[in-house]
Amino acid sequence: MPTFADFARSFEAGARSRDLVEQCLARIAAPDGEGSRAFLKVHADQARAAADLHDTMRRSGAPASPFAGIPVSIKDLFDMAGDVTTAGSRVLRDASPATRDAPAVSRLRAAGFIPIGRTNMTEFAFSGLGINPHFGTPANAYDRANVRIPGGSSSGAAVSVTDGMAVAALGTDTGGSCRIPAALCGLVGFKPTANRVPLDGAVPLSTSLDSIGPIATSVACCAVLDAVLAGEEVRPLRDFPLNGLRLAVPQTLVFDGIDSDVGRAFTVARTALSEAGAKIVDIPLRELSELAQINRKGGFGAAEAYASHRPLIEAKAALYDPRVLSRILRGREQDAADYIDLMRARADFIRRVRAAVAPFDALLLPTVPIVAPRIADLDDEIAYRDVNLLLLRNPTIANFLDACAISLPCHQPGEAPVGLMLIGHNGGDQRLFDIAAAVEGLLTAG
């Protein structure tokens, strides 16, 4: 798939942003496509106008960002001036339109990216499956005849990229909401150290765990978007030697319930890294077995979501997806003492795990333990719950640790998409990108 660098070179050679935007809009509008389920609103006129402006500036020789004119999709969790931010829900459809863009959106515009529309998502971002009963669920591009889940909560974001309706996507990640759909759809998804990107103007799920990240076709594209979102200078990725790279593979929890496709792809990737000189060590990391007990009352997600949703639930409970509502209502199980205990337990968990993984450059593990299941197989309430928990299990480790993490494809062409996850250290985002680019180069070369 073309990268930002490819598009930048084509613009320099005379290609028009307007043509690229029209191609994306045509795919969104295709009657046999997923556009009506992937997007909740399309900004066609605004995108065309922005593309014409960038094309005019380039023709006139005016200085332009190399990314000016590249269309991106925006998850329906972010404020965009003039739009109602519904967070994939009917509950907020009567809210007032936003008066200004969220900082994440305004930074993308300032860098020249063109928001082409608002993408569908799990209601209020509270599920890793990507299913939305209100607006439909966009189907995974893999094995589309069997209508498989895209992963969530940034479901429309991922499908917008796989189907060429946008070049990249802006998403959020509270427990894997960028990395899960990236893994299931064969893309790259990144979760930054949370405080690097401002959360203002994004509907919160869990203020303790929320982060904002990109979904794209390559590590380099995600690195560009992350720098823009964080207000940092875009820098070239540095060559990182795989020979001597120190990776730890946790043996607790993360391989439970793994299917044959994921197990095979992970083993092949691990072997390739070892043969390239990476030092890969299995570590117990038994602390991971504590997470279920620490979060037994719903954790930060339930507590903080319930705190913000109480007035809406009192007025409009019947409008919620019942499966999302039930997860939010778990927040009622926690009192102030429980919440304080949770904060203390997290701080202690972070301290002990950081000490255990300090000798390593990153953790290496499957992003999720299964390939994308069929939507039809998740109609049953128990199946929905169990598969949702399974998909969230590995990615949430990084959120609970407040670490940075990235998922990149590790399957062979034609096979079901499988994600390989690297979890870095808090604040080590740029180093993680360098490592991920080296791993990506190895895997794609094979």
**Which residue numbers are catalytic?**
75, 153, 177
Cα–Cα distance, 68 to 369 (Å, whole number): 38
Q: At residue 52, what is the residue type?
A: D
Taking only Cα atoms into account, the Rg of the chain, rounded to an integer number of angstroms, comes to 21
Cβ(152)–Cβ(181) below 8 Å: yes
The long-range contacts involving 327-332, CB below 8 angstroms and separated by at least 24 positions, are 327/126, 327/127, 327/298, 327/301, 327/302, 328/124, 328/126, 328/302, 329/302, 330/297, 330/298, 330/302, 330/306, 331/298, 331/302, 331/303, 331/304, 331/305, 331/306, 331/307, 332/306
Count how many Cα atoms sit within 13 Å of the Cα of residue 246 in the half-sphere of its side chain. Answer: 7
Hey, what's the torsion of the CAs at 18, 20, 24, 30, to 10 degrees?
Answer: 90
Q: What is the DSSP string of 182-212?
A: HHHHT-EEEE--GGGS--TTB--S-TTT--E
C-alpha span between 120 and 270 (Å, rounded)? 34
Q: Which tokens in the block code for residue 327?
A: 């997860």
Q: Which amino acid is at 413?
A: P
Token pair 């968990």 is found at 349
Cis bond before residue 65 (omega within 30° of 0): no
Q: How far is 87 from 58, CA to CA, in rounded Å? A: 36
Measured between alpha carbons, how far is 244 from 158 in angstroms, rounded to an integer? 33
Which backbone phi and psi does 124 adopt, to 5 degrees?
55, 20
Q: Sort 15 into a burial class: Cβ within 10 Å, 0-12 / 13-18 / 19+.
A: middle
